[in-house]
Copies of this chain bind each other. A is one copy, B any other.
Amino acid sequence: MIGRLNHIALAVPDLSSATALYRDTLGAKVSAPIDQPDHGVTVVFVELPNTKIELLYPLGEKSPIANFLERNPGGGIHHVCYEVEDILAARDKLKAEGARVLGDGNPKIGAHGLPVLFLHPKDFLGTLVEIEEVAKAA
């Protein structure tokens, strides 16, 4: 069911120093910061040859990563995102196997403009998992 690892998301306490770390110290290609007010984050994309790292910084007063950064003031891995071809079929299979889908169970449009769902970290080895529906390979 799951396909590619779409990205790893890191919540960071200082976006410019985190960007400098990945750009200058680790020598990776990074994007400009992109505000995503609908998602409560500002994002910098780190482009690796085979996947992306997303550096997430809180935007606005109800950012979904604010609590995480309070618990992890130095930052940390917030979630990983796997691609699926059919998010409703994936959701139904996961629920049938006892996994908890967060929110109301209906996909939302995620940061890449594609349908996403989040899965409970206690059901996935302590890791918050996002699944994102991508178009089938041609």
A22-55: which residues lie under 8 A (CB-CB) from chain B?
A: 24-28, 48-51, 53, 55
A79 to chain B, nearest CB (A): 10
A62-84: which residues lie under 8 A (CB-CB) from chain B?
A: 72, 74-77, 80, 82
Contact A26-B50, Cβ < 8 Å, known A8-B8, A74-B125, A126-B75: no
On chain A, which size bracket covers the interface?
A: 35 or more
Proximity string of chain A (5-20) to chain B, C-beta cutoff 8 Å, 1 when within and 0 when not:
1001010100000100
Distance A99 CA – B26 CA, assembled complex (angstroms) = 10
Copies of this chain, whole number: 2
Does A2 lie at the interface of the complex (its beta carbon under 8 Å from any beta carbon of B)? yes
A133 to chain B, nearest CB (A): 15
A89 to chain B, nearest CB (A): 11
Contact A48-B125, Cβ < 8 Å, known A77-B77, A94-B25, A97-B24: no
The 8 closest A-B pairs by CB, nearest first: A1-B27, A76-B126, A75-B125, A75-B126, A50-B50, A74-B126, A4-B50, A25-B97
